[in-house]
Amino acid sequence: MSNWKTLLLRIGEKGPEYGTSSDYKDHIETCFGVIRREIERSGDQVLPFLLQCAEQLPHKIPLYGTLIGLLNLENEDFVRKLVESVHADFQVALDSGNCNSIRILLRFMTSLLCSKVIQPASLIVVFETLLSSAATTVDEEKGNPSWQPQADFYVICILSSLPWGGSELAEQVPDEIERVLVGIQAYLSIRKNSSTSGLNFFDNGEFESSLAEKDFVEDLLDRIQSLASNGWKLDSVPRPHLSFEAQLVAGKFHELRPIKCMEQPSPPSDHSRAYSGKQKHDASTRYPQRIRRLNIFPANKMEDVQPIDRFVVEEYLLDVLFYLNGCRKECASYMANLPVPFRYEYLMAETLFSQILLLPQPPFKTLYYTLVIMDLCKALPGAFPAVVAGAVRALFEKISDLDMESRTRLILWFSHHLSNFQFIWPWEEWAYVLDLPKWAPKRVFVQEILQREVRLSYWDKIKQSIENASALEELLPPKAGPNFMYSLEEGKEKTEEQQLSAELSRKVKEKQTARDMIVWIEETIYPVHGFEVTLTIVVQTLLDIGSKSFTHLVTVLERYGQVFSKLCPDNDKQVMLLSQVSTYWKNNVQMTAVAIDRMMGYRLVSNQAIVRWVFSPENIDQFHVSDQPWEILGNALNKTYNRISDLRKDISNITKNVLVAEKASANARVELEAAESKLSLVEGEPVLGENPAKMKRLKSTVEKTGEAELSLRESLEAKEALLNRALSETEVLLLLLFQSFLGVLKERLPDPTKVRSVQDLKSIGVEDDKSSAMDVDSENGNPKKSCEVGEREQWCLSTLGYLTAFTRQYASEIWPHMEKLESEVFSGEDVHPLFLQAISSALQFPLQ
| Short-list 277, 272, 289, CA closest to 361 | 289
Distance CA 821, CA 476 (A): 40
Dist. CA 109–CA 126, nearest whole Å: 10
Residue 681: pLDDT over 80: no
3-state secondary structure of 654: helix
Instruction: Find all residues with CB under 8 Å of 360, minimum gap 6, and list them.
Output: 199, 808, 809, 811
* 3 state DSSP class of 202: strand
Q: How many residues does the chain have?
A: 848
| 3-state secondary structure (DSSP) of residue 402 | strand
Contact 336, 372 (CB under 8 A): no
Which residues contact residue 188 at a Cβ distance below 8 angstroms, ignoring those fewer than 6 apart? 217, 218, 221
DSSP 429-454: GGGGGGGS-TT-HHHHHHHHHHHHHH
Secondary structure element (H or E) that encloses residue 109, with its range? helix 99-114
Which tens digits make up the pLDDT trace of 287-316? 999 999 988 998 888 777 899 999 999 999
Q: Number of H helices and number of E strands within the chain?
A: 35, 2
> Among 750, 781, 783, 745, which residue's Cα sits nearest to residue 767?
750
**Residue 614 pLDDT more than 80?**
yes
Looking at residue 215, its pLDDT comes to 87
pLDDT at residue 719 is higher than 70: yes
> Which of the residue ranges 201-210, 231-240, 503-512, 686-695 would you say has the lowest mean pLDDT?
201-210
- Tell me how far apart the alpha carbons of residues 40 and 29 are, in angstroms, rounded to a whole number: 17
Residue 687 scores a pLDDT above 60: no
Q: What sign does the dihedral 712-713-718-719 (CA atoms) show?
A: positive
CA 569, distance to chain mean position in Å, is 35
Q: Which residues, 6+ apart, have CB-to-CB distance to 176 below 8 Å?
A: 120, 121, 124, 169
On whether the CB atoms of residues 843 and 277 are closer than 8 A, the answer is: yes
Q: Measure the N-to-C terminal CA separation of the chain; round to a whole number of Å.
A: 62
Tell me how many degrees the CA angle 448-295-428 measures, rounded to the nearest 5.
Answer: 40
Mean pLDDT across the stretch 408-434? Answer: 96
User: Quick one: pLDDT at residue 480?
Assistant: 77
Look at residue 761 in the predicted model and tell me its pLDDT: 85
149-176 pLDDT per residue, tens: 999 999 999 999 999 999 999 999 999 9
Q: How many CA atoms lie within 13 A of 182 on its CB side?
A: 6
The 10s digit of each residue's pLDDT in 793-822 is 999 999 999 999 999 999 999 999 999 999
pLDDT higher than threshold 80 for residue 71 = yes
Q: Mind spelling out the 3-state secondary structure of 792-845?
A: HHHHHHHHHHHHHHHHHHCHHHHHHHHHHHHHHHHCCCCCCHHHHHHHHHHHCC
DSSP class per residue in 719-751 = HHHHHHHHHHHHHHHHHHHHHHHHHHHHHHSPP
Q: Please give the single-letter amino acid code of residue 395.
A: L
Binned at pLDDT 50, 70 and 90, residue 847 comes out as confident
What pLDDT sits at residue 767?
A: 54
**Whether 803 contacts 835, CB under 8 Å:** yes
Overall average pLDDT of the 629-636 stretch: 96
DSSP 533-596: HHHHHHHHHHHHHT-S-HHHHHHHHHHHHHHHHHH--SHHHHHHHHHHHHHHTTT-HHHHHHHH
Query: Which residues does residue 202 pair with via DSSP β-bridges, in sequence order?
Result: 402
Query: How far is 144 from 280, CA to CA, in rounded Å?
Result: 10
Whether 846 contacts 274, CB under 8 Å: no
Handedness of CA 204, 206, 207, 209 (dihedral sign): negative
d(CA 213, CA 594): 44
Quote the CA–CA distance of 155 and 81 in Å, as a whole number: 28
Q: Let me know: does 654 contact 615? Beta carbons within 8 Å.
A: no
347 vs 202, 317, 352, 384, 396, CA distance in Å?
A: 19, 10, 9, 11, 18
**Residue 776, pLDDT above cutoff 90:** no
Quickly count: other Cβ atoms within 10 Å of residue 639's Cβ. 14
Q: What is the pLDDT of residue 434?
A: 96
pLDDT at residue number 774 = 35
DSSP-derived letter for residue 511 is: T
SS3 685: strand
Q: So what's the pLDDT on residue 787? A: 54
Q: Is 41 helix (H, G, I), strand (E, B) or coil?
A: helix
Determine the Cα–Cα distance for residues 325 and 369; give it in Å rounded to an integer: 9
